[in-house]
């Protein structure tokens, strides 16, 4: 069995790997999928007529017609090992005491995280006591990302991302002792920020990809009994409901943004939808939080009971 992580992807594409007849395990996001729901790694393997079993951390739905000659298999065990099991020993969170509207934690400088933090700042939702940005970028770079995704509509969408003082924000780092991949430590750095915030905007991995990929990030809210919405790939929320068995907070949030394919348009729709709650008092926000108490407790129990893994095993190929 051969295992390949992100650091090995270039070796695959540069034809430096002799796969033999072993099962191939492709770890992590595979650099995402384009708007046609194609992936460069899978394209390469398909063109090479690879006959090995290929285990991934994706549950593929409606992709088989593109890769009919590949033996793609979802591995719930890989997904659990690398993305889901990190918080199994975290049993006691601080009491939920809402003092802040929104939190969001942004580690590495992917395009989607630049877009998210820029939008939160422009919409006056980025509270540096509760939101992190562990990277710097330029206004020109951010402006270029917007144009890349919306083209001639950039004049309109720029209004949601750039203001007169944005350059200073873009160049400033906001950190809470972030240690990449050390979730057992990070949860203790972030637990109070989570339990004091009404909603956690999850900065999912590669939100500019076009096919759902689920990491541990939303579980930071699940294990602290919080509300979350994710800036993720289109269909991500529907995906965790259908395949992982977690429930959505439909009494409060409108999930139409989840169906929007364009990542800039989806982000603007998400933030404008949630921003209406920002004008409410903390007491009012807590009352809304209590409206979803049953769903919050269900998701908490769903995770710690291991039912999410039993659900995933139904799709074990």
Q: Are the C-beta atoms of residues 263 and 208 closer than 8 Å to each other?
A: yes
What pLDDT is recorded for position 174? 95
The strand pairing partners of 26, in sequence order, are 4
Do 21 and 134 lie in one domain? The reply is no
Do 12 and 157 lie in one domain? The reply is no
Do 60 and 127 lie in one domain? The reply is no
Residue 14 lies in a domain: yes
CA dist 307 and 133 (Å) reads 33
Q: Maximum Cα–Cα distance for the chain, whole Å?
A: 62
Do 104 and 225 lie in one domain? The reply is yes
Do 123 and 227 lie in one domain? The reply is yes
Residue 61 clears pLDDT 90, i.e. is over it: no
Question: CA geometry: angle at 277 spanning 84 and 176, to 5°?
Answer: 45
Which residues, at least 6 apart from 229, have a Cβ–Cβ distance to it below 8 Å? 199, 200, 201, 202, 237, 253, 270, 274
Do 233 and 126 lie in one domain? The reply is yes
Do 106 and 15 lie in one domain? The reply is no
Residue 184 clears pLDDT 90, i.e. is over it: no
CA dist 207 and 32 (Å) reads 9
Q: Which of 58-72, 114-128, 256-270 has the lowest mean pLDDT?
A: 58-72
Residue 79 lies in a domain: no
Do 266 and 212 lie in one domain? The reply is yes
Q: What are the C-alpha distances in Å from 2 to residues 19, 27, 192?
A: 8, 11, 41
Name the domain count of the chain: 2
Percent of the chain with pLDDT over 90: 85
Kindly indicate the confidence band of residue 180, based on its pLDDT and cuts at 50, 70 and 90.
low
What pLDDT is recorded for position 108? 84
Do 38 and 140 lie in one domain? The reply is no
What does DSSP assign to residue 190? Answer: H
Which residues, at least 6 apart from 101, have a Cβ–Cβ distance to it below 8 Å? 125, 127, 197, 198, 199, 277, 278, 285
Which residues, at least 6 apart from 195, have a Cβ–Cβ distance to it below 8 Å? 93, 94, 95, 96, 97, 224, 225, 226
Domain ranges, residue 25: 2-74
The domain boundary, picked from 50, 74, 98, lies at 74
Q: What are the C-alpha distances in Å from 52 to residues 6, 25, 167, 201, 217?
A: 19, 10, 49, 39, 31
Residue 282's closest CA among 221, 198, 200? 198
Kindly indicate the confidence band of residue 63, based on its pLDDT and cuts at 50, 70 and 90.
confident
Q: What is the pLDDT of residues 35-57, one digit of tens each?
A: 999 999 999 999 998 899 999 99
Residue 80 lies in a domain: no
The strand pairing partners of 4, in sequence order, are 26
Residue 107 lies in a domain: yes
Residue 144 lies in a domain: yes
What pLDDT is recorded for position 276? 97
The domain boundary, picked from 74, 98, 129, lies at 74
Instruction: Assign 165 to helix, strand or coil.
Output: coil
Do 162 and 22 lie in one domain? The reply is no
Q: Is the dihedral of CA 211, 217, 220, 221 positive or negative?
A: negative
Residue 81 lies in a domain: no
Q: Are the C-beta atoms of residues 9 and 26 closer than 8 Å to each other?
A: no
DSSP codes joined into one string, 120-155: HHHTT---TTTB-B-----HHHHHHHHHHHHGGGHH
CA dist 121 and 170 (Å) reads 9
83 Cα distance to chain centroid: 11
Residue 256 clears pLDDT 80, i.e. is over it: yes
- Strand 197-203 to 100-103 pairing: parallel
The upper half-sphere exposure of residue 3, i.e. CA atoms within 13 Å in the direction of its Cβ, equals 7
Residue 157 lies in a domain: yes
Do 45 and 91 lie in one domain? The reply is no
Q: Is the dihedral of CA 274, 31, 3, 20 positive or negative?
A: positive
Do 241 and 292 lie in one domain? The reply is yes
Choose between 107 and 291: higher pLDDT: 291
């Amino acid at each position: 069995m051969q295992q390949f992580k992100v650091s090995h992807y270039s070796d695959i594409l540069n034809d430096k790997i002799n796969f033999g007849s072993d099962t191939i395990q492709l770890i992590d996001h595979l650099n995402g999928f384009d708007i046609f729901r194609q992936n460069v790694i899978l394209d390469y393997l398909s063109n090479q007529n690879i006959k090995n079993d290929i285990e991934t951390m994706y549950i593929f739905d409606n992709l088989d017609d593109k890769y009919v000659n590949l033996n793609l298999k979802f591995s719930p065990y890989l997904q659990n090992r690398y993305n889901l099991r990190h918080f199994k020993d975290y049993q006691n969170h601080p009491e939920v005491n809402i003092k802040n509207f929104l939190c969001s934690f942004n580690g590495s400088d992917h395009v989607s995280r630049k877009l998210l933090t820029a939008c939160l700042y422009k919409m006056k939702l980025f509270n540096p006591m509760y939101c992190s940005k562990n990277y710097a970028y330029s206004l020109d770079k951010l402006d270029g990302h917007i144009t890349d995704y919306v083209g001639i509509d950039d004049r309109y969408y720029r209004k949601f991302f750039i203001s007169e003082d944005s350059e200073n924000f873009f160049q400033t780092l906001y950190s809470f002792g972030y240690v990449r991949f050390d979730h057992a430590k990070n949860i203790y750095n972030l637990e109070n920020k989570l339990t004091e915030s009404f909603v956690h905007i999850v900065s999912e991995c590669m939100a500019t990809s076009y096919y759902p990929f689920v990491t541990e990030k939303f579980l930071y809210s699940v294990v602290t009994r919080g509300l979350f919405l994710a800036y993720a790939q289109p269909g991500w929320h529907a995906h965790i409901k259908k395949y992982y068995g977690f429930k959505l907070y439909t009494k409060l949030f409108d999930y139409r943004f989840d169906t929007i394919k364009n990542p800039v348009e989806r982000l603007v729709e998400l933030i404008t939808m949630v921003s209406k709650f920002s004008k409410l008092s903390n007491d009012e926000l807590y009352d809304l939080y209590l409206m979803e108490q049953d769903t919050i407790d269900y998701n908490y129990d769903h995770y710690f009971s291991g039912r999410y893994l039993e659900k995933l095993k139904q799709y074990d190929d």
